[in-house]
């Protein structure tokens, strides 16, 4: 059977092979090296700005969305949420739950964002914008150049949910001037579910550092502190992280998803 859903996406044979072994103990230099490599390659593939960091949370993609709303944003932020479907709605729900001061730009289902949607929000002292680069519920890829220019012009922190866009669409963190990009293991990365990934540019790192801690399990302060030595604060989905390592190495060496039946298409 072929699985054509947006995720979990079928994995190639090399990635599957990784999961056929017992999970190793992970507080070891060997596992730390793998984690540090995962971070390096992720930042390289995203073309993240210098001194960016990348952390791996054991959660589905929504865990990364929630972590960013809790750890990168704060009570003084004036937040814009682009809501064009169920994943935009999720950012709104998270902002509401965590009592962020936010305004929704609500778009019709599958409607592209246009300059006129953004015009009322120019020079209004907004400080952060949340967008799902690809709104998976409708299949719409947002005009990221438009969003990026708007954020640059208004000095707004750009936070990009690229859970379904990473490895499927062109994504350059430096070019977009994105402060945060988040993704997950089970979409185009084509690894089993369980890990979400957050890349943070220096301006986002500074915010995490300055903001009060809101939670323990999804704390980015803790995740970042541990990532310096290639570790995580709590037991991670070790096997999924090993699979990510195999997959990232293949992508970096131009192998894409190749190897398994059908997997060549995933790159
Ligand atoms: C899949 C997806 C999510 C949610 O991911 P989960 O892993 O199910 O929590 C969030 N945003 C986008 C754009 C997605 O495609």
**Residue 28 CA to ligand 1 centre (angstroms):** 31
Q: What is the pLDDT of residues 142-176, one digit of tens each?
A: 999 999 999 999 999 999 999 999 999 999 999 99
Q: What is the pLDDT of residues 34-88, one digit of tens each?
A: 999 999 999 999 999 999 999 999 999 999 999 999 999 999 999 999 999 999 9
Output phi, psi for 184, to 5 deg: -135, 170
Atom of ligand 1 nearest to the CA of 193: 7
Contact 62, 194 (CB under 8 A): no
Pocket of ligand 1 (CB under 6 A): 7, 60-62, 87, 132, 134, 136, 161, 163-164, 184, 187
Residue 1 scores a pLDDT above 90: no
* 245 backbone φψ class: left, alpha, beta (φ>0; ψ -120 to 50): alpha
- Tell me how far CA of residue 198 lies from CA of 13, 24, 124, 165, in angstroms: 26, 24, 28, 14
**Residue 164 CA to ligand 1 centre (angstroms):** 7
Q: Which two tokens stand for residue 238?
A: 């070790």
State which H helix or E strand residue 160 sits in.
strand 157-161
Q: What is the pLDDT of residues 227-264, one digit of tens each?
A: 999 999 999 999 999 999 999 999 988 865 443 333 44
**Of 136, 160, 196, best ligand 1 pocket probe by most atoms within 8 Å of the beta carbon:** 136
Nearest CA to ligand 1 atom 6: 61
**Residue 163 CA to ligand 1 centre (angstroms):** 6
Nearest CA to ligand 1 atom 15: 164
Atom of ligand 1 nearest to the CA of 135: 13
């Amino acid at each position: 059977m072929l699985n054509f859903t947006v995720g979990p996406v079928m994995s190639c044979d090399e990635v599957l092979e990784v999961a056929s072994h017992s999970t190793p103990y992970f507080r070891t230099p060997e596992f730390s090296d793998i984690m540090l490599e995962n971070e390096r390659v992720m930042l390289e593939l995203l073309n993240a700005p210098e001194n960016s960091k990348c952390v791996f949370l054991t959660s589905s993609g929504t865990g990364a969305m929630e972590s960013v709303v809790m750890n990168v944003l704060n009570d003084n932020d004036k937040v814009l949420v682009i809501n064009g479907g169920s994943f935009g709605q999720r950012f709104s729900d998270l902002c509401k739950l965590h009592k962020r001061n936010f305004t929704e730009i609500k778009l019709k289902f599958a409607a592209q964002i246009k300059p006129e949607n953004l015009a009322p929000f120019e020079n209004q002292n907004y400080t952060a914008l949340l967008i799902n680069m690809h709104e998976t519920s409708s299949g719409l890829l947002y005009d990221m150049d438009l969003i990026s220019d708007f954020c640059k012009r208004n000095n707004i922190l750009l936070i990009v949910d690229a859970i379904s866009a990473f490895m499927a669409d062109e994504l350059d963190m430096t070019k977009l001037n994105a402060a945060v990009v988040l993704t997950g293991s089970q979409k185009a990365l084509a690894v089993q579910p369980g890990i979400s990934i957050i890349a943070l540019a220096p301006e986002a790192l500074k915010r995490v550092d300055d903001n009060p801690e809101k939670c323990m399990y999804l704390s980015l302060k803790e995740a970042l502190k541990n990532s310096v030595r290639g570790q995580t604060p709590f037991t991670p989905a070790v096997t999924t992280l090993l699979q990510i390592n195999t997959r990232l190495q293949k992508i970096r060496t131009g192998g894409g998803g190749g190897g398994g039946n059908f997997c060549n298409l995933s790159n």
